[in-house]
Amino acid sequence: TLTIAELSVDASKVRQLVSAACLVAGAASTSAAFVTGLVLSHVSHRLAPVLGGWLSLSVFSLLAGVTAAGLVADDACIGLLRGEMQLARNVVFAVAKLLLLPLAVSAWDLGRGRQIVVVWLASAALSLVLVFRLIDRMPDPGTWRPDFANLIAKRGLIWSHHLLNVAVVAPSLLAPVVIAAAVSPTANAGFYTAMLVTNFVNIIPSQLSTTLFAIAPGDEVALARETRNSLQVCGLLAVASAALFLFGSHEILHLFRRSYESAADAMTLLG
């Protein structure tokens, strides 16, 4: 969210800010994921088979880093009021996963679904390259040399934004890991599907609230107006989707797989 606020005020150094922010977020996430994966592979016998070994751990760590950099790049697009670039990155990410996965499954016998993770990493990296190319085409006299000095000067503000972002995304990202470690990968499959569907609805309020950071700082009139509009849309969506999940969770999960219906109660609570 820091990139949204910064670029909404001054977009003249977009390349320097985006490159620095993506590198810092990517490196920090890769390092944190490596430590996390190492710990999980030793404390959870259920996760050890998929996180054990340097190759699996490296792919897991790199995937976390590329994902973090992608999230920063997405928010930079919002700060630039160029939502079409964010859409393009996510479309390429989604389509590439679908196209590459059959090829990876037929070409490699990695076992335990590792092809999915490798394809996910490759697709995320490809989408990140695309958004960098789109930003590069924007008229800007700056260079891609990362402006780390600017980030260091705003380290207090960055930490505040970081705590906010973690509070927003951590519950949805942490829940599947906890379920897989505590119950079983089979149970996690149903739960993750339920969470995926409910998060699909949550995309709308998430994007609406995130875009509020793009409003010029100090313009409290515009902020109040757009906040009211966002709350109205989110309120209507909440009422409509709550009814859908209250009465339709079993049917929705049945569309994916009959055994996933065991997660219907979880889906109802999440919805």
Q: What is the dihedral of CA 208, 133, 68, 80, to 10 degrees?
A: -30
| Matching residue, tokens 């949550």 | 202
| Matching residue, tokens 């009211």 | 228
Instruction: Count CB neighbours of 78 within 10 A.
Output: 21
The whole-angstrom separation of Cα 51 and Cα 70 is 23
CB-CB contact of 216 with 222 (8 Å)? yes
CA distances from 210 to 72, 190, 213 (A): 12, 29, 6
- Per-residue pLDDT tens over the stretch 34-82: 999 999 888 877 778 778 788 889 999 999 999 999 999 999 998 888 8
- Tell me which amino acid residue 189 is: A
- Per-residue pLDDT tens over the stretch 122-181: 999 999 999 999 998 888 757 889 999 989 999 999 999 999 888 988 887 888 778 877
216/154: higher pLDDT? 154
CB-CB contact of 39 with 29 (8 Å)? no
The number of C-alpha atoms within 13 Å of 164 and in the hemisphere containing its C-beta is 11
pTM of the model: 0.78
**pLDDT for the residue numbered 43:** 85
Q: Which long-range contacts (CB under 8 A, 24 or more apart) does 34-43 make?
A: 34/58, 34/60, 34/61, 37/61, 40/177, 40/181
Residue 254 Rama label (left phi>0; alpha psi -120 to 50; beta)? alpha
- Per-residue pLDDT tens over the stretch 222-255: 999 999 999 999 999 999 999 999 999 999 999 9
| Matching residue, tokens 């404390």 | 43
- Tell me which amino acid residue 236 is: L
Which pLDDT band holds residue 7 (cuts at 50, 70, 90)?
Answer: confident
User: Which residues lie closer than 8 Å to 38 by C-beta, 6 or more apart?
Assistant: 51, 57
Specify the range with the lowest mean pLDDT, choosing from 70-79, 110-119, 155-164, 205-214: 110-119
Cα 243 to chain center, whole Å?
A: 27
The whole-angstrom separation of Cα 262 and Cα 190 is 7
User: Which residues lie closer than 8 Å to 52 by C-beta, 6 or more apart?
Assistant: 41
- Per-residue pLDDT tens over the stretch 161-170: 999 888 988 8
Residue 31 has pLDDT above 90, yes or no: yes
Residue 216 has pLDDT above 70, yes or no: yes
Which pLDDT band holds residue 110 (cuts at 50, 70, 90)?
Answer: low
Instruction: Count CB neighbours of 13 within 10 A.
Output: 17
